[in-house]
């Protein structure tokens, strides 16, 4: 039982008070009560943003902002100020921020403007582009508490390597974003900062563990942010908030120097998270990945894989691209709206003359349980030690799912890695079709259900499996959930595939859920490419996105 005077409560109160003080009085809004289901329109209708600031934050992505700063249409300072204001509004609506460093960002932007005026040269491809960061990243002088009281009030002494890379390439960093306690939940809630709300529909989850990042970008308080992903923590918030997100392969983007709440030295034997972009456009994901590669981070971190952007794969052979479609992981059968949007995407691709082949991957059935073995190998004891230092309890969702356990012994560890290697070898077969042709990428669900109510996310096998296999993968928003989708029913009377599948069915059963909760959400798909083929992934995602959004089919990109 938690003590009423447990130290974590005072720490949380101080952190929230300090955070609140960093939002200028003139940027404060009155949140309607009761708040509307969707708050997406509130920033644009707010008198806090000037017409120019509304234009900057509403009509651009990071790529066009970089171009506008280079052409001197906007100053870096004007862009930074606009996004600081809009991020402040977004936070008041969704509780999406943790650390706020608007003043530092404005000083940085002014410096960039002065240097550009003096030299007529930009600092790098991200010159003047505001970028938000998940709270795990360390920024000198600010906490990286990941929503845990015992890690709070302990400012970082050094930057994470990726922070230095982004600064080297000209970025303006201005805030960090909220996460779930322990980083192990799919709904971003913790005892220090509280819960992130989904700005599209406040009754459904904003996702996790990069949930604050997803919510901030959905409200355009950022157009390009950085998340991390070990079970789906980039792709799931991207799906929940209707934006784009890419999980690279391990080592493609620098991960060193982050706070993850894990025992130091454990990364070599565990599943490893990847850092990657969450953005309002795919070309911004490419901008981020190419800018990082252009900084040659492998020269500063031996864990980063060598390879410039042009060396990270190419989609298409002889001007054609072959796409696979994977409809089920054999563990959880997707619900009708998820099946429907996947089938719609296939039909749209085929209508444009693209070849789509059905693929099956029996080995995927083994991946979710193996991922769980990796997640539990340390018994979560290090995290419990951090919590108990200040008497901090688990949040309600985790309290039913997480407990101390025994650390796995060497024999068990070897067996887990042997199983992983066998699955990796077996899964290589899916990249060649029956005719011996190379499959460029495949599409599949991000999750077996639409964006669910708060704290009701089901299994993560559709995302965590591709962490286990180390495949780069991304979330592609397809369309809004509609009234028509409410009437789609499951076909057949088959028995559930297991307990996860049984729970999943309850998320569509009229006796256990009001399906109308899914309105005001986005239906997305996942695109997956072979290991360390991030450029190939982005090319495939871009072509599919253009077909789905009915833009000109970009044959020239192949």
Phi, psi for residue 39 in degrees, rounded to 5: -110, 15
183 labelled as ligand-binding? Answer: yes
89 labelled as ligand-binding? Answer: no
The secondary structure of residue 317, as a DSSP letter, is B
- Please indicate whether residue 320 is annotated as part of the active site: no
- Please indicate whether residue 176 is annotated as part of the active site: no
232 labelled as ligand-binding? Answer: yes
Beta strands 522-528 and 473-480 are: antiparallel
* CB 95 within 8 Å of CB 84: no
User: Which tokens in the block code for residue 147?
Assistant: 């929503």
The secondary structure of residue 363, as a DSSP letter, is G
* CB 253 within 8 Å of CB 87: no
Task: Check 9, 15, 85, 134 and give the catalytic one.
Answer: 134
3-class secondary-structure state, position 146: coil
Strand ranges across the sheet with 244-247: 97-100, 172-177, 130-134, 224-229, 274-279, 244-247, 473-480, 522-528, 441-444, 322-325, 355-358
209 labelled as ligand-binding? Answer: yes
Query: What burial letters (b/e) apply to 360-380, b meaning 16+ CB within 10 Å?
Result: ebebbbbbbebbebbbebbeb
Cα dihedral 42, 48, 51, 57 sign: negative
* CB 156 within 8 Å of CB 113: no
Phi, psi for residue 344 in degrees, rounded to 5: -60, -40
Contacts of 483 (CB under 8 A, 6+ apart): 519
Contacts of 501 (CB under 8 A, 6+ apart): 331, 332, 333
Query: Across the strands, what pairs with 177?
Result: 97, 134
What share of residues in the chain are helix, strand, coil (percent, to 5)?
A: 40, 10, 45
First to last CA, the chain: 60
Q: What DSSP element (H or E) covers 506? A: helix 499-506
Q: Rounded to an integer, what distance in angstroms lies between the CA atom of residue 185 and that of residue 397?
A: 8
Q: Rounded to an integer, what distance in angstroms lies between the CA atom of residue 407 and that of residue 380?
A: 8
- Please indicate whether residue 247 is annotated as part of the active site: no
Q: Rounded to an integer, what distance in angstroms lies between the CA atom of residue 556 and that of residue 558?
A: 5
Task: Check 150, 152, 160, 209 and give the catalytic one.
Answer: 209
160 labelled as ligand-binding? Answer: no
The secondary structure of residue 306, as a DSSP letter, is P
Cα dihedral 23, 29, 33, 38 sign: negative
Query: What burial letters (b/e) apply to 167-198, b meaning 16+ CB within 10 Å?
Result: bbbbbbbbbbbbbbbbbbbbbbbbbbbebbbb
Task: Check 145, 160, 210, 233 and give the catalytic one.
Answer: 233
Instruction: List the binding residues.
Output: 183, 209, 230-233
- Residues marked as catalytic: 134, 209, 233
Instruction: List the binding residues for substrate.
Output: 183, 209, 230-233
């Amino acid at each position: 039982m938690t003590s009423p005077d447990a130290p974590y409560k005072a720490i949380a109160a101080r952190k929230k008070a300090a955070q609140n003080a960093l939002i200028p009085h003139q940027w404060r809004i009155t949140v309607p009560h009761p708040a509307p289901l969707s708050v997406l329109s509130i920033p644009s209708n707010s008198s806090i943003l000037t017409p120019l600031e509304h234009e900057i934050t509403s009509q651009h992505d990071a790529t066009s902002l970089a171009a506008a700063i280079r052409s001197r249409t906007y100053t870096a300072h004007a862009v930074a100020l606009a996004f600081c204001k809009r991020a402040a509004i977004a936070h008041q609506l969704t509780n999406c921020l943790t650390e706020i460093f608007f003043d530092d960002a404005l000083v940085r932007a002014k410096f960039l403007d002065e240097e550009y005026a003096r030299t007529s040269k930009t600092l790098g491809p991200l010159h003047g582009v505001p970028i938000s960061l998940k709270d795990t990243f360390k920024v000198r002088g600010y906490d990286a508490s990941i929503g845990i009281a015992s890690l709070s009030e302990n400012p970082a002494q050094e930057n994470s390597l990726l922070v230095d890379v982004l600064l080297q390439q000209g970025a303006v960093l201005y805030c960090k974003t909220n996460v779930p306690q322990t980083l192990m939940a799919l709904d971003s809630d913790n005892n220090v900062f509280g819960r992130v709300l989904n700005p599209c529909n406040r009754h459904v989850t904003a996702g996790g563990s990069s949930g604050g990042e997803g919510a901030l970008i959905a409200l355009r308080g950022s157009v390009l942010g950085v998340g991390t992903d070990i079970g789906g923590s980039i792709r799931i918030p991207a799906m929940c908030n209707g934006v784009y997100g890419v999980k690279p392969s391990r080592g493609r983007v620098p991960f060193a120097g982050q706070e993850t709440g894990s025992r130091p030295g454990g990364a070599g034997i565990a599943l490893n998270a990847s850092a990657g972009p969450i953005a309002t456009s795919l070309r911004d994901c490419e901008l981020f990945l190419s800018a990082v590669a252009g900084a040659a981070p492998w020269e500063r971190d031996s864990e980063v894989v060598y390879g410039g952007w042009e060396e990270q794969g190419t989609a298409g052979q002889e001007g054609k691209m072959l796409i696979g479609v994977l409809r089920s992981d054999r563990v959880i059968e997707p619900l009708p709206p998820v099946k429907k949007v996947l089938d719609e995407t296939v039909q749209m691709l085929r209508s444009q003359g693209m070849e789509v082949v059905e693929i099956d991957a029996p080995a995927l059935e083994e991946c979710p349980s193996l991922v769980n073995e990796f997640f539990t190998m340390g018994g979560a004891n290090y995290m419990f030690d951090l919590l108990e230092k200040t008497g901090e309890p688990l949040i309600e969702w985790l309290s039913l799912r997480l407990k101390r356990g025994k650390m796995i012994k060497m024999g068990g560890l070897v067996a887990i890695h042997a199983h992983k290697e066998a699955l990796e070898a077996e899964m290589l077969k899916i990249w060649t079709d029956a005719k011996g042709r190379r499959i460029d990428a495949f599409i599949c669900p991000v999750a077996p259900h639409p964006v669910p109510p708060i704290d009701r996310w089901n299994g993560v096998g559709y995302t965590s499996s591709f962490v286990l296999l180390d495949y780069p993968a991304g979330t592609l928003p397809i369309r809004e959930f509609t009234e028509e989708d409410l009437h789609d029913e499951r076909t057949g009377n088959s028995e559930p595939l297991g307990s996860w599948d049984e729970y999943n069915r309850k998320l569509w059963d009229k006796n256990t859920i009001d399906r109308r909760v899914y309105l005001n959400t986005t239906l997305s798909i996942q695109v997956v490419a072979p290991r360390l083929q991030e450029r190939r992934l982005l090319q495939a995602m871009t072509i599919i996105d253009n077909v789905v959004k009915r833009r000109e089919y970009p044959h020239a990109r192949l």
